[in-house]
Amino acid sequence: MSATCDYQAKDYKSDLKPIWCPGCGDFSVVQGIYRALAAIGRPPHEIAFVSGIGCSSRIPGYTTAYGFNSVHGRSLPIAQGIKLANPDLLVLAAGGDGDGFSIGGGHIAHLIRRNMDITYIVMDNQIYGLTKGQLSPTSQKGRVTCTSRYGSMEEPVNPLLYVLAYGAGFVAQASPTDLVGMAATIEEAIRYPGFAFVNVQSPCVTYGEEAQQIKGLKAISESLQSLGHNPADRLAAMDLAQQYGQKMHLGVFYRNPEPPPTYGDLVKERQTLLSKDALPKERILDLFIKK
Amino acid sequence: MAIQGIDFANLSLKDALDLAILVEDEAQERYEEFATQMDQHQTPHAAQFFRYMVKNEAKHGQELQARRVQRFGDAPRSVTRAMIFDIEAPDYDAARAFMSPRKAMEAALASEVKAHAFFVSALPALKDSEVRALFEELRDEEVEHQEMVQLELAKLPPDSGLSDEDFVDEPAAQ
């Protein structure tokens, strides 16, 4: 790992121009990520940024980090593989609510239980925007879309409660209504030693509902700090997380005050333990060859 | 509009000038971004106006930079971009695909009003007389910028009555 240097937000901005719809909340999210990375100070070549598929999953390309716009819903397993292969990299994963909580929903639990040292940023716009406005896992019940002409009959997934229930050590929410706060939250998530989840309420200007646009979000937003919430209190975090969809609480819901070892730490420990009895590399094949 | 970690009461003239330059830089970059977005979404007239704003913000920034160099040379800067957000830059959600030049100018006007409000709100906390004079000057310049945008608005033909929403795809049956 290199020593941290003085990096500025612009050092993480690539030459690729975002093609999101003008007014999209993701423009602010990428700015928040630039700022957070500048505050962390790791050079771009020591950062791997993995995404799935969707509007928001284009985000790695807009940074100067190594990027992988991967397969729908599979950003987390790929990010995990990268982290295991090269533990010194700072690994970020990102995507939308559909990518993370529908097709990729099954992966989150396993990264949480392994406590992979990865920061996962979900840009939650409650719709499938890239494919022109279908219901997504976080769409509100009753939502009318092209795939729910008479209104959605399903309860939305609550991303905050979902990850808290699986035992994530760091859970936060941010919004483009507060870029300074978003950058600070993402920075804190990256600094957390283990799996960190940041849900960003990022409005879709093309298919999103009026109430989910910036003005609507501002009206229901409230800082967790101003509420006097103690981020070490997991049950209080779960209680607040239940208001997802009605209130938009911003900041850290939960930060494990005593983070358990990461999967990477345990792997390293196991390797150290076993290495004394390990065969030299040139003799490993002998195990498979009958004499 | 947000600020972080700026102690207005103890703001030096050098920091105040640097802050003002950063405000102009942020606005310039945002207008550049908006112009690119408009290019990508086949909205050339709004793009043209945003490029006009890029030039204006760059010019103001250069003027402030010249004053800063004249007075303080290349003394290191102690304020950073992380301390400000959306002071004179239009909000990200002010842009829309297919926005009319009028909408683009209204977005710019709202930003000039916002910047004016920033300098007005900072004034009571300022203690240094030179910093106060600079902020008063910047506040008054924001009024001039508003007038400049209003002049551009006045040159426009009457609005067609169409909004950007008229160009958005309706949900289609799959």
Closest-CA distance, B39 to chain A, in angstroms, reads 10
CB < 8 Å to B40, chain A: 17, 19
| Chosen CATH of A9-260 out of 3.40.50.970, 1.10.10.60, 3.30.1490.20, 3.40.50.720 | 3.40.50.970
What is the mean predicted confidence (pLDDT) over A81-98?
97
Q: Is the ipTM of this complex over 0.90?
A: no
Helix (H, G, I), strand (E, B) or coil at A174: strand
Residues of chain B contacting residue A186, judged by C-beta atoms under 8 Å apart: none
Give the separation between CA A246 and CA A241, rounded to whole angstroms: 10
**Tokens describing residue A118:** 């990865």
Contact A135, A142 (CB under 8 A): no
Choose, out of B28, B92, B164, B174, the residue to mutate when testing the contact with A (most A CBs < 10 Å): B92
Contact B156, B105 (CB under 8 A): yes
Task: Give CA–CA dist A224/B8, Å, rounded.
Answer: 26
**CATH number for the domain whose boundaries are B11-74+84-155:** 1.20.1260.10
Residue of A nearest to B172 (CA): A146
Q: Does A134 touch chain B (CB under 8 A)?
A: yes
Q: Which of A23, A38, A134 has the CB atom closest to B96's CB atom?
A: A23
A36-55 residue pLDDT tens? 999 999 999 999 999 999 99
| Secondary structure E strands in A17-58 | 47-51
pLDDT per position as a tens digit, A139-186: 999 999 999 999 999 999 999 999 999 999 999 999 998 999 999 999
Please count the residues of chain A. Answer: 291
pLDDT tens readout for residues A12-27: 999 999 999 999 999 9
Q: Does B106 touch chain A (CB under 8 A)?
A: no
The verdict on A213 touching B (C-beta cutoff 8 Å) is yes
> A19 and B40 in contact by Cβ < 8 A?
yes
Is residue B1 over pLDDT 80? no
Q: What is the mean pLDDT of residues A47-73?
A: 97
Structure tokens at A254: 């939960």
Residues B84-133 pLDDT 10s: 888 999 999 999 999 999 999 999 999 999 999 999 999 999 999 999 99
Contact list, A147 vs chain B (CB under 8 Å) = 174
Q: Quick check: helix, strand or coil at residue B9?
A: helix
Residue of A nearest to B96 (CA): A22
User: Number of CB pairs < 8 Å for A and B?
Assistant: 68
Task: Take residue B136 and report the two structure tokens written for it.
Answer: 């008063």
Nearest to A17 among B40, B93, B94 (CB): B40
B168 in contact with chain A, both atoms CB, cutoff 8 A: yes
A183 inside 8 A of chain B by CB:
yes
Nearest chain B residue to A215 by CA: give it: B93
Domain spans in chain B, listed from the N-terminal domain onward = 11-74+84-155
